[in-house]
Amino acid sequence: MKSGLHFLLAAKRCEIAELRQLALTAALVDASARLIHELQRERGLSNLYLGSSGQRFGAERLAQIDQSSAADAALRAHFDHLDTEASQLRHGARLFGRIAYVLHGLSALPGLRRQVERGAWTPAQATAAYSRLIAGLLAVIFEAADTASDPDISRLLVGLFNFMQSKEMAGQERATGSALFASGLADEAGQQRLLYLIESQERALEVFAQFAPPEAVVLWQRNDAQSTQAALERMRRILCSSGADGALNPEMSQRWFDTCTERMAAMRAVEAFLSAALRALCEQRREWLEQELQSLSGVRVQDHPAEQTLSFFDEAPHTADAPNHPLGSQLERSVLELVQAQAQRLQAMSAELDTTRASLNERKLVERAKGLLMAQRHLSEAQAHKTLRQLAMNQNRRLVDVAEAVLALADLATGSVHPQTGAAAHK
Amino acid sequence: MKSGLHFLLAAKRCEIAELRQLALTAALVDASARLIHELQRERGLSNLYLGSSGQRFGAERLAQIDQSSAADAALRAHFDHLDTEASQLRHGARLFGRIAYVLHGLSALPGLRRQVERGAWTPAQATAAYSRLIAGLLAVIFEAADTASDPDISRLLVGLFNFMQSKEMAGQERATGSALFASGLADEAGQQRLLYLIESQERALEVFAQFAPPEAVVLWQRNDAQSTQAALERMRRILCSSGADGALNPEMSQRWFDTCTERMAAMRAVEAFLSAALRALCEQRREWLEQELQSLSGVRVQDHPAEQTLSFFDEAPHTADAPNHPLGSQLERSVLELVQAQAQRLQAMSAELDTTRASLNERKLVERAKGLLMAQRHLSEAQAHKTLRQLAMNQNRRLVDVAEAVLALADLATGSVHPQTGAAAHK
């Protein structure tokens, strides 16, 4: 008959297998982040090219496409090495589904580039297309952030994911501003979009600062040079407050692009730091667990565990010389203590994990409510976000609470909510 | 190079593997539920025996121990058949950890029985000991409820788990009332505990009604006979409102036990129904997916997918005769549609799952806040629950919000909260 110790050891082995898996996922995150970085730059240069009606930035754009293609090939090689036969893979269905989606996006990339080359698409269309592909890549990383069951690793992943989100918003800001400067005209839709992107960046950076290790936060504060910040803020002001005619100086497009790119490079460095920290943390945890497993494997259990031991029912922590415990049950009790320590650890991990996951969940709720408003009221992303924020301010509630209310209202309208309890009904 | 379709197939295989796993877990849930049922009855009879100072119910108790032992052996056999070498098992660490804990509890059971036999423990002590062991068994089921990624299955598991919780509260009510009737005396602590148990039952049953399939809810309404309900309510009133001296008629203990037991049997039938429904649902889903996988395996992908297809970037759903799509890309586009359908399905599943998990999470938060109040203020479970409920009523807030506030306050006190954001800080 399998003993409690046997299952304790099996539990540890599962934890170790999960950490191995996570280390592989961390490498995948890294390869995805590299490709995202190149595509972000390609998007910005494409907008400069389109904004200047193909007059400028053509050579830079072509050189960047080579860079992107190299990162693309590296990520595909990574995908090819994934063990898709291991159907026991944790969250494999979601991860593989995301990858399938990304692969289709990547195969559509040459077509997108041709549209840009020909000037067949507006900068807004090109930005939307690149952003959709990048969103698909970020979704791969989101899946990873949602799978870790070690709270420290999960926190690091949430920090990393939010940092990458803010970097993507910064990249979209660069692309949008590039198109406006290059075209010499700031229209209202573009200005609204910029304001939305700036605010979203800051929100994601706040979450990053909450969840990432302090060293990463300090690194970001140091990397985000004040000179770049000042230059960026000056140009943001010009973009967002240009007069009624919205005229801009096209000569500024290069400076805008360079300043934003400097900031993106600083962000890329922090991202790489977080990614390395993630791999180191997985490795360290795995080593701890391997050691623990080894020392546990040395424990011998009596063939007939002292069944009469009542320490299982003790309220207080066990003391060695408690009465009522027959001699010889010492060993049995120490295994019990290990089992209880493991149970408490899992309990504490689960509590911490809930807090971390809550942040991911809030993000998802806000995104979903925004999507709903966009579809129902034909709003842009920026307008939908503004609507939610306005509602939150008016009602003095958190953004996530308003998002929840918006979604609940929609459920009510479609009749998928139980009229009495207000909870989603069984479908 | 692996194609999008390749990863789509891999995703489906993962889903199928997960469902196979879940079907095994469902069988484990079933075996656990059977043992819980027997232990609940043993707990009630033990209290009748202890309450009557060993004068009555001795033979019934011994007969019940045989029943419990049979269910115990069946569950252990089940544990023995679990593949503990498969360290890739989803949530294996948590499941195996819980099982290790339960095995230690089961090996302490003979000792517990001896304490009852000798009359060495009070009914309250014996109830607490049995309840701890049953809580360990319920935790195994909770792990299962937390693992499913199909929202229908998850909803069913949440319904089942809450039903089992309410059955356990009903079982504790039977045991507590049994001890009071048998001893001929209702003390205030016992009365308070009963009121708490009655209220908790009802709360868990409400969640059950929200999440379980309608047929199960109807079955419970039909099984919960009005005659039993009326008799139970009459005796509850006698127990909870007995005068200052708290005197009870010991002759009523048999009727109390029988009435409660009748209700527990009705609950057991609903539990078995849910358990069968769970296995059927897993089976059905698995068959669907196998069929889908088979039809997908027949799809042939071109060696060079039409890279120029831009349908990936389309906002609207794809129509067969959309312009801009070169001839021959039909097949490529249909695979893209499959990939997008899968992405949307995962998205919808994730949204539904969040709703379901939220209910589990709320439960965990309330339990944790209760535990905190019990530890910090030396309250009984009933008192802690009353405190939370009172706070919620006074502030006109939901129980879960108050629980969250209580936990946040504790975090603040221990300094683990970021002073500005109010969120838990990185530890």
Q: Is the pLDDT of residue B423 over 60?
A: no
d(CA B21, CA B89): 8
* Residue B348 backbone class (left: φ over 0; alpha: ψ -120 to 50; beta: rest): alpha
Q: Residue A420's pLDDT is what?
A: 38
In which band, very low, low, confident or very high, does the pLDDT at A253 lie, cut at 50, 70 and 90? very high
Could you tell me the sign of the dihedral formed by the alpha carbons of B312, B314, B315, B318, in that order?
negative
Question: In chain A, which residues have their Cβ closer than 8 Å to the Cβ of B17?
Answer: 87-88, 92
d(CA A234, CA A257): 14
Please, what is the end-to-end C-alpha distance for chain A in angstroms? 43
Question: In chain B, which residues have their Cβ closer than 8 Å to the Cβ of A213?
Answer: 426
From the CA of B161, how many Å to the nearest CA of chain A? 16
Q: Is the pLDDT of residue B46 over 90?
A: yes
A343-375: pLDDT as tens digits: 777 777 777 777 777 777 777 788 888 888 888
> For the stretch A11-25, what's the b/e string if a residue is b when 16 or more beta carbons lie within 10 angstroms of its beta carbon?
bbbbbbbbbebbbbb
d(CA A73, CA A61): 18
B281-329: pLDDT as tens digits: 999 999 998 998 888 777 665 544 554 467 788 764 433 333 333 333 4
Mean pLDDT of chain A: 83
From the CA of A225, how many Å to the nearest CA of chain B? 24
Which residue in B299, B313, B366 has the most chain A C-beta atoms within 10 A of its own C-beta, making it the best mutation to test that interface? B313
Other residues' Cβ atoms within 10 Å of the Cβ of residue A294: 10
* C-alpha dist (Å) from residue A166 to A206, A263, A334: 10, 12, 49
Question: Scanning every residue of chain B, which has its alpha carbon at the shortest distance from the alpha carbon of A19?
Answer: B88
The helix/strand count (H/E) of chain B reads as 12, 0
* C-alpha dist (Å) from residue A339 to A344, A346, B76, B105: 9, 11, 17, 11
Most confident of A233-237, A296-300, B13-17, B304-308: A233-237
d(CA A121, CA A117): 9
Residues sharing a CB contact under 8 Å with residue A359, sequence separation 6 or more, in sequence order: A158, A207, A210, A211, B423
Q: Residue A320's pLDDT is what?
A: 34
Full DSSP string of B381-411: HHHHHHHHHHHHHHHT--HHHHHHHHHHHHH
Give the residue carrying structure tokens 């943001």. Answer: A236
Which residue in B1, B7, B132, B427 has the most chain A C-beta atoms within 10 A of its own C-beta, making it the best mutation to test that interface? B7
Q: Residue B244's pLDDT is what?
A: 66
Please give the DSSP secondary-structure letter assigned to residue B250.
T
* C-beta atoms of B11 and A100 within 8 A: yes
d(CA B176, CA B50): 11
Q: Encode B194-221 in three state secondary structure.
A: HHHHHHHHHHHHHHHHHHCCHHHHHHHH
Other residues' Cβ atoms within 10 Å of the Cβ of residue A223: 16
By mean pLDDT, which of A74-88, A321-335, B72-86 is the weakest?
A321-335
* C-beta atoms of A312 and B342 within 8 A: no
Which residue in B12, B14, B18 has the most chain A C-beta atoms within 10 A of its own C-beta, making it the best mutation to test that interface? B14
* C-beta atoms of A84 and B7 within 8 A: yes
Angle at the Cα of B391 from the Cα atoms of B385 and B396, rounded to 5 degrees: 125
A190-231: pLDDT as tens digits: 999 999 999 999 989 998 999 999 999 999 999 998 888 999
In terms of Cβ atoms closer than 10 Å to its own Cβ (0-12, 13-18, 19+), residue B264 is buried
A236 or B246, higher pLDDT? A236
d(CA A24, CA A18): 10
Q: Is the pLDDT of residue A128 over 90?
A: yes
* C-beta atoms of A93 and B149 within 8 A: yes
In terms of Cβ atoms closer than 10 Å to its own Cβ (0-12, 13-18, 19+), residue B202 is exposed
Helices (H), A184-310: 188-211, 214-223, 226-240, 253-297
From the CA of B206, how many Å to the nearest CA of chain A? 9
> Token pair for residue B334?
């249909």
Could you tell me the sign of the dihedral formed by the alpha carbons of B264, B265, B267, B268, in that order?
positive
Which residue in B43, B103, B314 has the most chain A C-beta atoms within 10 A of its own C-beta, making it the best mutation to test that interface? B103
Q: Residue B154's pLDDT is what?
A: 84
Q: How many CA atoms lie within 13 A of B262 on its CB side?
A: 15
Q: Residue A5's pLDDT is what?
A: 85
A12-48: pLDDT as tens digits: 888 888 888 888 888 889 999 999 999 999 999 999 9
Please count the residue pairs, one from chain A and one from chain B, whose beta carbons lie less than 8 angstroms apart.
Answer: 262
Q: How many CA atoms lie within 13 A of B258 on its CB side?
A: 8
* C-beta atoms of A1 and B133 within 8 A: no
From the CA of B264, how many Å to the nearest CA of chain A? 25
* C-beta atoms of B307 and A110 within 8 A: yes
Q: Is the pLDDT of residue B330 over 70?
A: no
Q: Residue A377's pLDDT is what?
A: 84
Full DSSP string of A246-277: -B--GGGHHHHHHHHHHHHHHHHHHHHHHHHH
d(CA A95, CA B305): 22
From the CA of B90, how many Å to the nearest CA of chain A? 6
- Angle of helix B151-183 relative to helix B252-297, nearest 10 degrees, comes to 170
Residue B165 and residue B40 in contact, taking contact as beta carbons nearer than 8 Å:
no
In which band, very low, low, confident or very high, does the pLDDT at A307 lie, cut at 50, 70 and 90? very low
Question: Scanning every residue of chain A, which has its alpha carbon at the shortest distance from the alpha carbon of B361?
Answer: A354
